[in-house]
């Protein structure tokens, strides 16, 4: 069974924020809400590295574990989604999440998105696929269209990989082999340890 995963290749990431704006554009995410961010380590000195971070769609998602209203569910290909009708915006999931993914826009800012908002792996939410309602509340459903998350599809250097975990790992392994280096699958230990 294919499991959807994200992987950011830090050797390729150039911190161009293409993934961030692709996400903003695709889902019309309002000002102040960032489903995806680029994080820089050792900014401005040798060893500087950047990684693009969003919800990693963890195998045993800690957000789902702590949710008091049980609004999270996981598709059988491993995408973690949630129901904004149930969400009470309590913020537990934010504290549980090792990646800081959940966002809490103000209610007025964006329709019903006063509830928690996060990366959906471009798979929308529990509304009819690609309905106006789904777009309004969760954003576009590319998965239902047979497409992958736009951030990774548009990545300037193909640093951000999204798709079936095995294929992602294969591509990445090839690159590491070519470079003669050690793999640095940042975040995978935390997110996908079980798989």
Binding to other proteins (CB under 8 A): which residues in 43-102? Answer: 43-50, 53, 58, 60-62, 64-73, 75-77, 81-83, 85-86, 91, 94, 98-100, 102
Nearer to other proteins, 15 or 184 (CB): 15
Considering only residues 106-145, where is the footprint of other proteins by CB under 8 A? Answer: 106, 108-110, 117, 123-132, 135-136, 140-141, 143-144
Residue 4 three-state SS = strand
Total residues contacting other proteins (rule CB under 8 A)? 111
Nearer to other proteins, 8 or 103 (CB): 103
Output the smallest distance, CB 9 to other proteins, in A. Answer: 9
Report CA torsion sign: 184, 185, 189, 191: positive
Output the smallest distance, CB 58 to other proteins, in A. Answer: 8
**Which one, of 84, 75, 76, 123, lies nearest residue 102 by Cα?**
84
Residues facing residue 123 across a β-bridge: 141
> What is the C-alpha separation between 88 and 47, in angstroms, rounded?
41
| Calculated CA dihedral for residues 114, 95, 165, 169, nearest 10 degrees | 130
- Residue 163, interface with other proteins (CB under 8 A)? yes
Contact 28, 76 (CB under 8 A): no
- Residue 20, interface with other proteins (CB under 8 A)? yes
Output the smallest distance, CB 174 to other proteins, in A. Answer: 10
Q: Tokens 């998602």 map to which residue?
A: 61
């Amino acid at each position: 069974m294919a499991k959807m995963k994200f992987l950011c290749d830090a050797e390729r990431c150039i911190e161009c924020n293409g993934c961030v704006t692709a996400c903003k554009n695709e889902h019309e995410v309002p000002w102040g809400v960032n489903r995806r961010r680029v994080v820089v380590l050792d900014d401005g000195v040798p060893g500087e590295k950047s990684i693009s971070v969003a919800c990693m769609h963890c195998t045993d998602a800690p957000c789902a574990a702590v949710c008091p209203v049980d609004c999270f569910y996981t598709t059988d290909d491993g995408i973690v989604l949630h129901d904004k009708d149930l969400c009470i915006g309590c913020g537990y999931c934010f504290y549980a999440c090792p990646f800081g993914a959940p966002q809490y826009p103000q209610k007025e800012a964006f329709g019903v998105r006063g509830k928690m908002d996060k990366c959906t792996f471009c798979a929308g939410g529990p509304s009819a696929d690609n309905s106006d309602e789904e777009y309004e509340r969760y954003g576009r459903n590319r998965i239902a269209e047979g497409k992958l998350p736009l951030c990774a599809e548009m990545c300037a250097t193909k640093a951000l990989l999204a798709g079936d975990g095995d294929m992602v790992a294969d591509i990445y392994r090839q690159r590491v082999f070519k470079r003669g280096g050690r793999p640095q699958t940042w975040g995978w230990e935390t997110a996908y340890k079980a798989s």
